[in-house]
Amino acid sequence: MNKEENSPQEKKDNMTVYLKGAPERVVNRCSTILMNVHKDGTCKEDPLDDVMNKQITAANKKFGGSGERVLAFARKQLEPSTYNKKSHGFDVKKWKNWGNEKPTDNVIVAGSFPMWDLQLVGIVSLNDPPRPMVDISVKKCKRAGIKVIMVTGDQPPTAAAIAHQVNIIEKPEMEYNHLVDVVGMKPEDAMQKCGSIVIHGDELAKINREEEALDDNEIEKGRRIMDWISRPEVVFARTTPEQKLLIVNAC
């Protein structure tokens, strides 16, 4: 072995995993949070405890409620003795096979890298306003008897705020989740009285899984999604392409 092969790898040889995405997804994978970066490049990190989680949730809700899109950013420095370009052979194409659930042991899958116990760097809100004249176009559609359903990848607070800006939701105070979470109505009462509803894609997926085993002639199959889209004003948030197809079929 030459001198380079014998010399231990130093901290400067570290590689870093960077992750950005929906706050509720990214924060769930973090165990610490970056608090201060000093001039020498060192940083202070604190545990991501319940108190900090509540502050992050409140900030996310505040930004989203203003119609802003929110992204969370996280990172994790890899141990160079275990993860290095020459010997580890990173396989980024297969990360979904080993990154969805937090591992219960210390076994390192070939080609993998940690996707849990990350360090949260922070959340950032982006102002991405609707295109000009969309609000007028929606009003024209409504006057013509056309029902406009909004389907978006944004989180529910952002989706609801933008839907209000473009006249898809005209009375936010009568939205189903507002009646349940803020006013304190029972879900069944809120469903009867609400003029609009914002549905999370995860809820749509859950209902679809529960109904898959039902016979096509079963009267209850599809009833829940039909109840949703029968509301005067409807928004689907955090939806996937597969869920969009479910919505189109229901319509």
- pLDDT tens for 13-60 read 678 899 999 999 999 999 999 987 777 767 788 999 999 999 999 999
| pLDDT exceeds cutoff 80 at 165 | yes
Does 232 score more than 80 pLDDT?
Answer: yes
Q: Domain boundary residue among 75, 104, 126?
A: 126
- Mean pLDDT along residues 161-174: 96
Q: Which of 72-76, 88-92, 182-186 has the lowest mean pLDDT?
A: 88-92
Predicted local distance difference test score (pLDDT) of residue 6? 39
- Structural domain including 211 reads 134-250
The verdict on 245 and 154 lying in the same domain is yes
176 has pLDDT over 80: yes
Q: Are residues 172 and 60 in the same domain?
A: no
pLDDT the model gives residue 54: 94
Both 238 and 151 in one domain: the answer is: yes
pLDDT for 171: 95
Backbone CA torsion sign across 210, 211, 215, 217: positive
- Of 72, 92, 126, the one marking the end of a domain is 126
Reply yes or no on whether the pLDDT at 9 is more than 60. no
Instruction: Output the domain CATH number for residue 78.
Output: 3.40.1110.10
Mean pLDDT for 211-236 is: 85
